[in-house]
Amino acid sequence: MLNSMLERRFVTVLALLPCLLLSLGLERAEAQQAGGQADRVSRSETPKTFEYETLRSPVSGLRGVVATSQPLASNAGLDILAAGGNAIDAAVATAAVLTVVEPHSTSLGGDAFIMVYIAAEKKLIGLNASGRAPYAMTLEALNEKLDKHDMDRIRGIYSVTVPGAVDGWFEVLEKYGTMSMAEVLQPAIYYAEHGFPVSPIIASEWRGLERSTEPSTRATWLIDGERAPRAGDVFRNPDLANTFRLLAAEGRDAFYKGSLAETMVAYSNEHDGFFTMKDFADHTSTWVEPIYADYKNYRLYELPPNGQGIAALDENTQSDILKMIEGFEDFTPDNDPHGEHDAGFLYRDVIGQWHTRWTDDSTRPALSVMWKFDYYDRDLEFGSAEPWNPDATTRVLTILLTSEY
């Protein structure tokens, strides 16, 4: 069960950081080429089997691998590699395309947590490209405005920090990339301007925006401001294409000191927010040393706080979660609509206590996880035909951060 949790988090880290996979792949490809024909023949005569139980086929590549949750984004990274770019160039291009094709989970208004493996130095480094709260947002000032507007304390203008992703892209591209920002943004510009077919899962997630009461959100993300695109619809976002062109032409300053920053500050002012131009102009990303924990024969790396990665490395957290699942009884029509008792949510507060429900709308839990059981056949190839029969079924427990669900 611990393995399920760690494998889920490990896959998530790699999916967000194709540069790590790509760097390793390039190093191996070059080593194979240097080994000569005889070495390649000897390798092919010793077939290897994939050592993990999984329902997905392993993917191998001579010049690198790109892993994301959306094929168009992955293809964008591969196109950059084919054009002569390196792992970092491909990673930034991939992330930019994700803001177009998966707008419900990735955007220029978010942050970036990046890990890069330097093969020549056998060194892993990290970049924390998360933003900070506005200078003027003291606790007293925040509570005053929340009471004044009777606003949702989790969402809305007061939950937003300075977006750090764009600075992170420029920082890592300048330090380790080989292409310009204008070059790596071309795939994202193309899909934003010409459109892309919306896939079923993303269409389902997108429908949540139909409940938004914010006019600008509805105008940007809903068709005719009324409905989310359905599976198969071709969606275009010309405003986002123009934003990318501005970043390509004017660089980082367009976002943190220029017209884009001015637009964001003006929006904040219209909604009685805290942001000023100084908040954006002073933003910087920070290079950090990744932290790690050993599990069996593997070493799992994450960035240090302020991110949530430390939760995957904490053995006490893992133990607490498993104990809570073993004794979980708080099934409701919301988390168990079919009465199967095979899924639920867990919440940890700021003092470390775990809860099966979170009822305090005025605060966020310090950690929120989802767990669920799936029922496969004994070979883990298909769903079990007899899920009630332990002799014919393998139960697989998956634990993941709620934000990744």
Domain count, the chain: 2
Identify the residue with better confidence: 61 or 224. 224
Tell whether 120 is covered by a domain.
yes
Mean predicted confidence (pLDDT) in 285-294: 88
Tell whether 263 is covered by a domain.
yes
pLDDT tens sequence across 152-171: 666 788 889 999 999 999 99
pLDDT tens sequence across 12-58: 232 333 333 333 333 333 333 333 333 333 344 444 554 555 566 66
Identify the residue with better confidence: 400 or 274. 274
Q: What is the pLDDT of residue 92?
A: 97
Residues 274 and 323 in one domain: no
Tell whether 209 is covered by a domain.
no
Tell whether 208 is covered by a domain.
no
Residues 80 and 187 in one domain: yes
Residues 284 and 323 in one domain: no
Q: What is the pLDDT of residue 258?
A: 96
Tell whether 217 is covered by a domain.
no
Structural domain boundaries enclosing 172: 2-195+236-288
Residues 258 and 400 in one domain: no
Boundary residue ending a domain (288, 305, 324): 288
Tell whether 215 is covered by a domain.
no
Residues 126 and 259 in one domain: yes
Residues 15 and 140 in one domain: yes
Residues 359 and 269 in one domain: no
Asked if the model's pLDDT at residue 5 lies above 60, the reply is no
Tell whether 77 is covered by a domain.
yes
**Model-wide pTM > 0.85:** no
Residues 338 and 249 in one domain: no
Tell whether 219 is covered by a domain.
no
pLDDT band of 381, cuts 50, 70, 90: low
Mapping DSSP onto H, E and C, the string for the chain reads CHHHHHHHHHHHHHHHCHHHHHHHHHHHHHHHHHHHHHHHHHHHCCCCCCCCCCCCCCCCCCCCCCCCCCHHHHHHHHHHHHCCCCHHHHHHHHHHHHHHHCCCCCCCCCCEEEEEEEHHHCEEEEEEECCCCCCCCCHHHHHHHHHHHCCCCCCCHHHCCCCCHHHHHHHHHHHHCCCCHHHHCHHHHHHHHHCEECCHHHHHHHHHHHHCCCHHHHHHHCECCCECCCCCCEECCHHHHHHHHHHHHHCCHHHHCCHHHHHHHHHHHHCCCCCCHHHHHCCCCEEECCEEEEECCEEEEECCCCCCCHHHHCHHHHHHHHHHHHCCCCCCCCCCCCCCCCEEEEEECCCCCEECCCCCCCCCCCEEEEEEEEEECCCCCCECCCCCCCCCCEEEEEEEEHHHC
Residues 277 and 371 in one domain: no
Of 13-17, 193-197, 211-215, 337-341, the poorest mean pLDDT is in 13-17
Mean pLDDT of the chain, nearest integer: 81
Residues 282 and 318 in one domain: no
Residues 112 and 155 in one domain: yes
Residues 260 and 385 in one domain: no
Mean predicted confidence (pLDDT) in 111-121: 91
Q: What is the pLDDT of residue 231?
A: 94
